[in-house]
Amino acid sequence: MKNLESLFKQLGITIKPSYNLYIKDVQVDVLLSQWTINIYSNKLIELDYYLEILNKFSDFFKNKIKNIVIHLTLEQKKLLEQDVRIIKDYYDYIIKNNRLLNSAFKNTSMNIYDNKFVFDIKSIQEKKMLVRNIDVLQLIINDLGIENFEIEFNDIEDNYTLELEKEIKKREDEFFNKNEFNDVKSTKVAIFGNNIQENKVLPIEQVLDENNMLINCAIEGEIFELELRKTTKTHLLIIMIADKTGTITAKAFPGWNNQPPTIADLEIFKIGMIVRISGRKEYDRYSKEETIMISSASIIDAKPKISLRVDEYEQKRVELHMHTKMSKNNGINTLEEYAKLAKHFGHQAIAITDHDVVQGYVDAEKITKNTGVKIIHGIEATVVKDTEIVFNVNNQLIKNSKYIVFDLETTGLSANFNKIIEIGAVKLENNLIIE
């Protein structure tokens, strides 16, 4: 602590003899305008004292550096019993003040046992949310000197979740029974191949089970997507089939020398048909998924048996959060498809809130005219923290100045985890490139 006493006095930081502290080094990041001060400590520092050190350093150097990070290294590597309270204080502070982690962790209970952070999980969705953000939490905790700890998830289910899942299962069963999805009584019409016995048919979920060593299998379901593709030498039928347990892709080629299935056989398949197929299950290296190569097929019913859901509530809702396919990796349907579904539900309006883009606005007026559903313009925008981002301000007009515009190509938007891979620059004057 002696080598820091004079510095701490200058900064106005309380000196606590119980802590043996010294600065190992200071890392300077000119690009981020950030100092990382690496401090060695004989034990875990109380949250209040840590914040005092951080705030005093930040205030003292605020005119010279934008960000200051305090990284601690502890002499003790194993958490002591008295450290649990301190770590809980840190954890509560982090979750409260980090917006990303707050939304993910605020409703999750966390306990500490023998260098383990144990989170009580009530649902699969909650676990997925935590897993997506756990790396960020670990990095922050590591900066506090808390290392070599493990993360565990304790799966629990409260009564509400169990009752909700029972209700969902009940409604699913009622829906599929009402629509006679897998109990169709229509006469079976063979298309090609052998007769497929009903007792050989398996749920798609079971066929796709990783622990299932099936090679040949039979399924029954509705065709919801279809493509008859002409290749260089032949044709290829690709259909996607769904039952109430899952979906799977199935493929078929025409036989050689007019052997079944013929091209005419493949043309019989239509979207909405209920079919029963059998064949070899194999991993398709092109689509990178399990696929059934069809050897036998029958039509169970040529009319679709699954109808769209209905909104039975008298007071219709307005959906205010919706991503279309314009949202990269965050939407799969077009605005027109959503509008038609909203019209089917009896909804008078929907909002389009694509992620960081507004290209969906272009078709909104036309879609409103065609469907009668009002499109509310919106956006889900990514914003930056409201801090000072301009330095060395000179109050001159750009139109009267020569200036340089930089174009940076990066591997992502995170200053901590991504890199700059290309830099371009042009000099402008009067809105014209001069160099």
Report the alpha-carbon distance of residue 419 to residue 422 in Å, rounded.
Answer: 9
Residue with tokens 């949250």, as numbered in its chain: 47
Give the percent of the chain with pLDDT over 90: 15
Which residues are 408's β-sheet partners? Answer: 423
For 262, other C-beta atoms within 10 Å of its C-beta total 14
2-11 and 47-60 helices cross at what angle (nearest 10)?
A: 60
Look at residues 212, 193, 211 and name the one whose alpha carbon lies nearest to residue 202: 212
Say what the pLDDT of residue 179 is.
45
| pLDDT over 50 (residue 418) | yes
Which of these, 73, 71, 75, 74, lies nearest to 57 by C-alpha position? 71
Q: Any idea which of 48-52, 80-84, 388-392 has the lowest mean pLDDT?
A: 388-392
Say what the pLDDT of residue 183 is: 42
Alpha helices in 208-362 (DSSP H): 263-267, 335-345
CA separation (Å) from 389 to 144, 259, 398? 27, 71, 18
Of the pLDDT bands very low, low, confident and very high (cuts 50, 70, 90), residue 351 is: very high
pLDDT one-digit tens code per residue, 110-121: 888 777 888 888
> Would you say 250 and 241 are in contact if contact means Cβ atoms under 8 Å apart?
yes
Q: Are 270 and 228 in contact (CB under 8 A)?
A: no
Strands 150-155 and 402-410: unpaired
pLDDT tens digits along 18-74: 888 888 888 888 877 888 888 888 888 888 988 998 888 888 888 888 888 888 888
Does residue 232 register a pLDDT over 90?
A: no
The token pair that represents 358 in the structure block: 């507004």
Find tokens 């769209």 and name the residue: 308
Confidence of residue 182 (pLDDT cuts 50, 70, 90): very low
Spatial neighbors of 381 by CB under 8 A, at least 6 apart, are 356
DSSP lists the bridge partners of residue 238 as: 227, 251
Q: For 159-163, 184-188, 243-247, which range has the lowest pLDDT when averaged over its residues?
A: 184-188
Q: Report the distance separating Cα 76 and Cα 147, nearest Å.
A: 10
Q: Does pLDDT of 224 surpass 70?
A: yes
Strand spans (E) along 174-266: 189-192, 216-230, 235-243, 246-252
pLDDT digits (tens, 9 = 90+) for 123-180: 777 787 888 888 888 888 888 887 777 888 887 655 555 666 666 666 656 655 554 4
Q: Which residues lie closer than 8 Å to 197 by C-beta, 6 or more apart?
A: 218
Tell me the average pLDDT of the chain. Answer: 82
d(CA 423, CA 222): 52
pLDDT of residue 276: 93
What are the tens digits of pLDDT across the range 263-306? 888 888 988 889 999 999 888 888 888 899 999 999 887 655 54
Please work out, in degrees rounded to the nearest 5, the angle formed at the alpha carbon of residue 120 by the alpha carbons of 119 and 123: 115
pLDDT at 181 over 50: no
User: What's the pLDDT band for 185 if we cut at 50, 70, 90?
Assistant: very low
> Quick one: pLDDT at residue 400?
81
Among residues 403, 401, 396, which one has the least CA distance to residue 435? 403
Bridge partners, 426 (sequence order): 405
pLDDT tens digits, one per residue of 354-364: 988 998 898 88
Evaluate whether 45 touches 27 at the Cβ level (below 8 Å).
no
Q: What is the mean pLDDT of residues 2-29?
A: 82
